[in-house]
Every structure is written in C-alpha cells, then in structure tokens.
C-alpha cells in the first residue's frame, strides 16, 4: 500500500453560459474564460477523473488510487456498500447567471434508465450578491397536470419557491426536488457521484450558435416530487472547535467545523475516507504519512486508513465529509 498522505487534486474546470469569474477571483482557480461555472475538486466521473497534485503521488489519477488501494482509501464498509468506486463528487460553483431549472432522478430511476447513481446533493453558500436567491421546490402542492399545463403556457416560474440566501446558509436537495441556483451565488456542493440532470426550463436562452439547450420534459415527469415541502434548509449548530452535524444521509455525512485553534482527531474507527473543504481561512492538515496546506476554496482527501488527523490553524471554517 502506498503511504496515503493528505491528497490534493488539480481542479477540473467546467465552463457554462451561466458561469463567471469568481472561482478565479475568490479562490485562484485556473480559469481561462469569464464563464467558469464549476471547479470539480474530487471526481471519479468518467472523462472527469481527478489527478493528484501534491507529493510523491502527483500525476496519479483517483481511479488508479482506487485500483491500487480501494479499501485503504475508501474504508472497508464503504467498499462493501459502493464497490471500488468513489461514491461522491465535490465541487465549487459560481453562478453569474441563473442556472436552468432542473431536478435529479433517484437511484432506482437512474439505474433503470441510465445505469447510473441518482443524485442527492447539498449546498453550502460561500458568497452572494445582494438579492441573490435559489429556487427550491414548489410554492404549493402541484398536480402533474398543473405542472404540464404550466410548461405549455410558459408559467412554470409562478409555481416555484424562491429562497433568499446569505453566506453560511446550507440546503439539502433530495432527488426529485425541482431546484436552481440563482445569479450571484457561489457555493460548495457535495453530491453522489453522478452527472445526471433533468433540465426542465432554461429561461428560453440560446447558446452561442442560437440554439435552445436540450430539455428533458418527458423524463422528468415521473421523477418530480410535486408536493410543497419545507424540508430543504439545514439548521445546524455552529459550536466552535468541534464537528457540528449538518447533513447525515445514506450517501454522505457533512460536519461544519469553525476552528479557532489546533484540533486532533482519533479516526481509527471511522472506516471512511475524510474530505475537508475549506470555506474560509486556512489550515495545515496531517495524518500518519504527511501533511498539506489548505486555504479557502481548496479540498483535501484523507484515506480511511488514517488513524490520526491533526488540523493546525489560527482560524478556518471547514466542511468535513465522510460516509
């Protein structure tokens, strides 16, 4: 087994018509245009596999690490549940413009239709412009017939729930829930490993070639949760210098850590990899085999075979992700 010191990866940049410059301006991501929409920090999605950027394993793909060290990297219980595949995808997103209105199918639909995982996700808001909001769910219970009629009459927006946001707000987006990130929002996203999205409305925008983007109207009909639900805003404790539970779902567990000083954790019995996303400040993170620095907008992966994790900091806010 390789010595699995704390691993950082090259960002995988994705450009969309709704992207902007904040991933570069705020986090120093290697953007080449003014439409940088997503920085994939940790990915095993086909054709978008992360590459180690630090230490002796630099240049090694995440897939190769899994091929060589799956149980040591992921944890025995994680391999038993998900196989030798990395089960989550980590991103930072900059929405300069409104994203399309969309939803994600559950595991059963995704498997039968696309031989894929579904896509359950969570968002942590890192930066907002004044008046920024999200669309999450409906503003009333809607029937499938009402929904279809709204598409035909171009009145879907009248049925949707708008949520104002500010830094630190956190949202859990379960499968089937209609949602969209609004203009002026930068966020951290944690999700199942899947790039499966059903786009249902895109504000009638056209791309550089004058074409409307593809919609998935028929596929979405049986995937949508038509009930109005107030189950998406995550209220979490913010006690300093400890791990505060934000989300604990079958696909990932996320804690919020507001550290004012150093922290040592014994993780011998965790039996899961650990990811830290830095959402403010900076820290040095070490395990049994080495250490690396992390600052706002960066991500680090620690293997399940780690027994101790030390975080040295004068101030950092971290999202700690495990399974």
Binding residues: 104, 121, 179
Strand 48-49 relative to strand 44-45, pairing = antiparallel
How many other CB atoms are there within 10 angstroms of residue 104's CB atom? 26
Asked if 305 and 72 count as a contact pair (C-beta separation under 8 A), the reply is: yes
Helix, strand, or coil here: 45?
Answer: strand
Stated length of the chain: 323
Whole-number Å distance between alpha carbons of 118 and 194: 6
Sheet containing 36-42: give its strands across.
12-20, 36-42, 88-95, 185-192, 121-128, 170-173
The contacts of residue 25 (CB under 8 Å, 6+ apart) are none
Q: Which residues are annotated as a binding site for Zn(2+)?
A: 104, 121, 179
Please indicate whether residue 16 is annotated as part of the active site.
Answer: no
Annotated catalytic residue, options 16, 81, 199, 270: 199
Burial (0-12, 13-18, 19+ Cβ within 10 Å), 45:
middle
Beta strands in 139-273 (DSSP E): 160-164, 170-173, 179-181, 185-192, 198-201, 244-248, 253-259, 263-266
Kind and range of the H or E run holding 127: strand 121-128
Instruction: Just list the catalytic residues.
Output: 199
């Amino acid at each position: 087994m390789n010595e699995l010191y704390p691993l950082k990866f090259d960002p995988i940049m994705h450009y969309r018509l709704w992207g902007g410059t904040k991933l570069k301006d705020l986090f120093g991501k290697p953007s080449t245009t003014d439409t940088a929409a997503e920085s994939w920090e940790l990915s095993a999605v086909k054709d978008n596999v992360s590459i180690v950027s630090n230490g002796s394993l630099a240049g090694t793909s995440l897939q190769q690490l899994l091929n060589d060290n799956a149980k040591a990297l992921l944890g025995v219980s994680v391999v038993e549940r998900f196989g030798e595949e990395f089960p989550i995808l980590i991103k930072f997103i900059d929405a300069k413009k409104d994203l399309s209105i969309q939803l994600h199918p559950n595991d059963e639909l995704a498997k039968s239709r696309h031989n894929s995982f579904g896509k359950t996700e969570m968002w942590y808001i890192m930066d907002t412009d004044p008046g920024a909001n999200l669309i999450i769910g409906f503003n009333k219970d809607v029937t499938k017939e009402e929904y279809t009629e709204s598409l035909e009459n171009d009145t879907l927006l009248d049925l949707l729930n708008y949520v104002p946001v500010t830094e630190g707000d956190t949202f859990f987006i379960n499968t089937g829930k209609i949602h969209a990130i609004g203009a002026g929002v930068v966020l951290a996203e944690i999700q199942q490993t899947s790039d499966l999205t059903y786009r249902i409305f895109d504000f009638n925008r056209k791309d550089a070639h004058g074409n409307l983007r593809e919609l998935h109207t028929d596929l979405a009909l049986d995937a949508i949760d038509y009930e109005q639900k107030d189950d998406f805003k995550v209220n979490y404790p913010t006690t300093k210098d400890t791990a505060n539970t934000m989300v604990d779902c079958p696909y990932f567990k996320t804690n919020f850590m507001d550290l004012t000083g150093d922290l040592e954790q014994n993780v011998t019995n965790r039996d899961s990899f650990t990811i830290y996303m830095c959402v403010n400040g900076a820290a040095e993170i070490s395990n049994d085999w080495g250490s690396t620095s992390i600052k706002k907008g960066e991500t680090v992966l620690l293997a399940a075979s780690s027994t101790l994790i030390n975080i040295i900091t004068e101030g950092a806010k971290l999202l700690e992700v495990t399974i």
